[in-house]
């Protein structure tokens, strides 16, 4: 496969159009909504109407028929305008991808048009309090009801699930028992938010964002047979089909934030004068910003590579690239935001400039959906062939 390093004209045009939409709303709008704990409904539905939210979903179900590369670009540009939409990572990227690739015709008809036009939202829950980064240890289990109905009963606990309060359903990663071996294997279930036995409670977080995180209690939640997405025996493969887009999108999320922070810092450094020239003329201010710009650009390139591999159907190659991209973007973004805050001095911590809240927002990119350390473990073992320590 050969892929150009320079973006096509179509993608550049999409970038410009999304950036224009982002600018019309801007940081001030986003922060106001986030502080009020309200969803960014106006931006979400306008982006949906313009076809941006479902750009990666198949055209026959109302999507744009493009790929994760385009959806990542949408997220990055909105973030660069000060409006990073976390739920884009979850609803169209993870859930939409998994259903489009592995759902039955009926599941696709039921979910994809709504996910594409933004009228329906699906959250995603894999993290568990006792398993944490070790997703082989998850203990949410689905078993068949004993009445012969074919229904499932799902029980377990999840934590840090984003956006449940504004979602129609959650795609949960559970496990089913292999009839032959008795071993538990991963499987994916769509659980409507109003299901009986499904409880969710907000976790107080130090984040200024329109989405909240929840802990979840699933107590024998009864689900119809077709709540299971895809093949019961191929859960792991299906899961990875959703987790690669999640990593690519998280990279785009943090890179958008990094660009917003750098733009703000550069604009400030050009004009703020405390001696006889703008602070941007001091190399102590200019060089760290230049360094951040280089690191952000490198991480963008890696993110584009990961998306390209994923969209070309190379799940294995995309796995390595998506991990590297997420790592590089998370690190570049944390440094860029930190340096931007420093550049603005006291103003870096005021609400007016919208940077302080980004300190915790970019930290999310170091922890979720897979931590920096777990990516280093992955690269050490898979890329470098070093022995495993855990």
Ligand X SMILES: Cc1cc2nc3c(=O)[nH]c(=O)nc-3n(C[C@H](O)[C@H](O)[C@H](O)COP(=O)(O)OP(=O)(O)OC[C@H]3O[C@@H](n4cnc5c(N)ncnc54)[C@H](O)[C@@H]3O)c2cc1C
Residues that bind ligand X (CB under 6 A): 90, 124-127, 132-133, 160-162, 207, 213, 364, 367-371, 373-374, 377, 390
Report the residue number, 184 or 207, with the smaller CB distance to ligand X: 207
Contacts of 368 (CB under 8 A, 6+ apart): 160, 250
CB of 376 to ligand X, least distance (A): 8
C-alpha to C-alpha distance for 213 and 31, rounded to whole angstroms? 17
CB of 239 to ligand X, least distance (A): 12
CB of 270 to ligand X, least distance (A): 33
Report the residue number, 51 or 319, with the smaller CB distance to ligand X: 319
Report the residue number, 65 or 132, with the smaller CB distance to ligand X: 132
CB of 302 to ligand X, least distance (A): 20
> What pairing do the DSSP bridges indicate for beta strands 198-203 and 213-223?
antiparallel
Report the residue number, 106 or 206, with the smaller CB distance to ligand X: 206
Reduced to 3 states (helix: H, G, I; strand: E, B; else coil), residue 283 is helix
Report the residue number, 15 or 363, with the smaller CB distance to ligand X: 363
CB of 282 to ligand X, least distance (A): 35
Count how many Cα atoms sit within 13 Å of the Cα of residue 20 in the half-sphere of its side chain: 7
Report the residue number, 55 or 374, with the smaller CB distance to ligand X: 374
The answer to whether residues 82 and 208 touch, using CB atoms and an 8 Å cutoff, is: no
DSSP designation for 148? S
C-alpha to C-alpha distance for 360 and 358, rounded to whole angstroms? 5
C-alpha to C-alpha distance for 192 and 91, rounded to whole angstroms? 14
Report the residue number, 51 or 210, with the smaller CB distance to ligand X: 210
Contacts of 285 (CB under 8 A, 6+ apart): 269, 279, 343
Q: Read off the tokens for 222.
A: 């009864």
C-alpha to C-alpha distance for 320 and 318, rounded to whole angstroms? 6
Beta strands in the chain (DSSP E): 122-125, 141-144, 152-162, 169-177, 184-192, 198-203, 213-223, 228-229
CB of 90 to ligand X, least distance (A): 6
Residue with tokens 């980004």: 358
Report the residue number, 248 or 266, with the smaller CB distance to ligand X: 248
The answer to whether residues 333 and 368 touch, using CB atoms and an 8 Å cutoff, is: no
DSSP 307-318: HHHHHTT-HHHH
Report the residue number, 112 or 209, with the smaller CB distance to ligand X: 209
CB of 125 to ligand X, least distance (A): 5
- b/e 135-147 (16+ beta carbons within 10 angstroms → b): beebebbbeeeee
Taking CB positions, which residue lies at the least distance from ligand X?
132
Contacts of 232 (CB under 8 A, 6+ apart): 176, 185, 187
CB of 214 to ligand X, least distance (A): 9
Closest listed residue to residue 53, CA positions, set 37, 36, 40: 40
CB of 151 to ligand X, least distance (A): 24
């Amino acid at each position: 496969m050969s892929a150009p390093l320079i973006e096509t004209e179509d993608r550049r045009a999409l970038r410009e159009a999304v950036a224009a939409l982002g600018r019309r709303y801007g940081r001030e709008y986003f922060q106001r909504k986030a502080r009020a704990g309200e969803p960014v409904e106006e931006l979400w539905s306008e982006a949906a109407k313009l076809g941006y939210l479902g750009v990666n979903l198949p055209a026959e179900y109302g999507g744009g028929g493009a790929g994760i590369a385009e959806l990542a670009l949408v997220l990055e540009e909105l973030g660069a305008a000060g409006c990073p939409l976390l739920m884009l990572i979850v609803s169209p990227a993870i859930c939409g991808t998994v259903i489009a690739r592995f759902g039955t015709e009926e599941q696709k008809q039921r979910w994809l048009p709504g996910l594409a036009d933004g009228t329906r939202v699906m959250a995603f829950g894999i993290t568990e309090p006792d398993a944490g980064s070790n997703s082989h240890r998850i203990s949410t289990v689905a078993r068949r009801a004993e009445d012969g109905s074919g229904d499932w009963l799902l029980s377990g606990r999840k934590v840090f699930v984003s956006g449940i309060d504004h979602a129609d359903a959650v795609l949960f990663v559970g496990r089913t028992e292999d009839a032959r071996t008795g071993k538990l294997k991963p499987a994916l279930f769509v659980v409507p938010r109003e299901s009986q036995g499904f409880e969710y409670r907000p976790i107080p977080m130090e984040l200024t964002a329109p989405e909240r995180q929840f802990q979840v209690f699933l107590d024998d939640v009864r689900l119809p047979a077709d709540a299971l997405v895809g093949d019961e025996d191929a859960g792991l493969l299906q899961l990875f089909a959703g987790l690669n887009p999640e990593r690519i999108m998280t990279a785009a999320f943090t890179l958008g934030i990094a660009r917003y922070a750098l733009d703000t810092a550069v604009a400030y450094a050009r004009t703020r004068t405390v001696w006889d020239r703008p602070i941007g003329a001091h190399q102590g201010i200019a060089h760290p910003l230049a360094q951040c710009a280089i690191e952000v650009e490198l991480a963008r390139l890696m993110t584009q590579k990961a998306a390209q591999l994923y969209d070309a159907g190379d799940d294995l190659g995309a796995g390595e690239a998506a991990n590297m991209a997420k790592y590089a973007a998370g690190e570049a973004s944390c440094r860029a935001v930190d340096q931007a805050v420093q550049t603005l001095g006291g103003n870096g911590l005021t609400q007016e400039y919208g940077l302080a809240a980004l300190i915790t927002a970019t930290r999310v990119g170091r922890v979720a959906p897979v931590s920096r350390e777990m990516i280093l473990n992955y690269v050490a073992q898979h890329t470098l062939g070093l022995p495993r320590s855990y």
